Amino acid sequence: MNSVKASPSVDGTLRAAAVAAEQAGERLDRFLAAALPELSRSRLQALLASGAVTRAGQTIGDGNTRVKPGEIYDVRVPEPAPALPQAQDIPLTVVHEDADL
C-alpha cells in the first residue's frame, strides 16, 4: 500500500506518493493513477508531460518509467483556472405567455 501526503503550495497542491514493496516494477503512470484516484489518467499524463512529476528533485516525464520500492514521487497539481462562462444569444421559442408570467 502506498502513502500519499498532500500539502498546499504557492502554485498548487504538492502530493507525495511513496512506492511500497508490492508496487515495485509498476509503470509510473499506473502507480500514480492508483495513488491519486481523484486525478484521471489523462490528467496525470498531462502532468507528466508538463514536468509536474518529480523524483528526488529530478523531473520525470515518461509514464513508462518503472517504480522501485521506497521511491517518493512528488506531483504538483496546479489550482484549476476559474471558469469564465459566456452568455450565448440563442433563439428561443415561447410556447406560452400570459400576464402572470
Burial class (CB in 10 A: 0-12, 13-18, 19+), 35: buried
Task: Give me the domains of the chain, ranges plus CATH numbers.
Answer: 3-77 (3.10.290.10)
| Cell, residue 53 | 512529476
- On whether the CB atoms of residues 36 and 75 are closer than 8 A, the answer is yes
Which residues are CB-neighbours of 27 under 8 A, at least 6 positions away? Answer: 63, 64, 65, 66, 67
Q: Taking the CA atoms of 64, 68, 69 and 70 in sequence, report the sign of the dihedral they define.
A: negative
Q: What is the pLDDT of residues 40-82, one digit of tens each?
A: 999 999 999 999 999 999 999 999 999 999 999 999 999 888 8
In angstroms, how far is the first alpha carbon of the chain from the final one?
60
Angstrom CA distances, 80 to 29, 41, 83, stand at 21, 17, 9
Q: What is the pLDDT of residues 77-100, one digit of tens each?
A: 998 888 899 989 999 888 888 887
